[in-house]
Amino acid sequence: MNQYPHPIIAREGWPFLIGSIAIALLLSAFVGGIAELLAWIIVLFVVQFFRDPPREIPQDAGAVLSPADGRIIKVERTQDPYGQSEAILISVFMNVFNVHSNRSPVDGTVEKVQYFPGKFVNADLDKASAENERNAVVLKTADGRVVTFVQVAGLIARRILCYVKAGDTLARGQRYGFIRFGSRVDVYLPLDAGVKVSIGDRVSATTTILAVLP
């Protein structure tokens, strides 16, 4: 799969940006006032939501990178229901002001991609991982370790986009998907991973190291 070119605005956002600018221009020309102001505020919101800046990729050996911008809301030992193994779960919650481009946490080959329809409860809740609409990517590293990362829809997130399939090769930091309007990403790691983050930490996609694999 080709590397994403990292424009200023994510490709998923261009239809929204063009549409909001067109409406704002029309309101500016024919209406003005509060309607015009609100329209341009919406344009600014669209720009900030769909921004997709390039990121420096840490080259530390064994580094597991954050797949999303946001806040750590869970670090615990649990069962990986997609990779079928005991695992350490690290969950990153994204609000509407975070960058919503999702990136691979490690290098490896995609073993499978599973999509599950579901609810749209607040992604900050524990039950969101099991009940919400979600898309899981199970990846195997060169040394045979299984790392699973799951895009989870949120209260107002209504579209999960994933651009990889079984057999694809991903490089750490490579863009593989997008979630629109607030959600979370769950990362399941082998039990011997050395976790580097704590609940409440703010993280950035690609640049923050979540854990280190031995």
**Active site residue: 66, 91, 129, 183, which one?**
183
Alpha carbon distance 134, 118 (integer Å): 7
Domain boundaries, the chain: 11-49, 63-212
Say if residue 150's pLDDT is above 70: yes
Residue 79 to residues 57, 126, 157, 173, 195: CA-CA distances in angstroms? Answer: 29, 14, 25, 25, 17
- 183 a catalytic residue: yes
Residue 125 has pLDDT above 60, yes or no: no
Distance separating alpha carbons of residues 59 and 80, to the nearest angstrom = 26
Instruction: Note whether 196 and 76 are within 8 A (CB).
Output: no
pLDDT at 133: 85
Domain 63-212 fold: Glucose Permease (Domain IIA) (2.70.70)
User: ∠186-180-126 over CA atoms, to 5°?
Assistant: 35
pTM of the model: 0.85
* pLDDT score of 130: 64
Identify the band that residue 8 occupies on the pLDDT scale cut at 50, 70 and 90: confident
- pLDDT tens-digit readout, 29-74: 998 899 999 999 999 988 988 888 888 899 898 999 999 999 999 9
Q: Which of 1-5, 26-30, 161-165 has the lowest mean pLDDT?
A: 1-5
Residue 1 confidence (pLDDT): 42
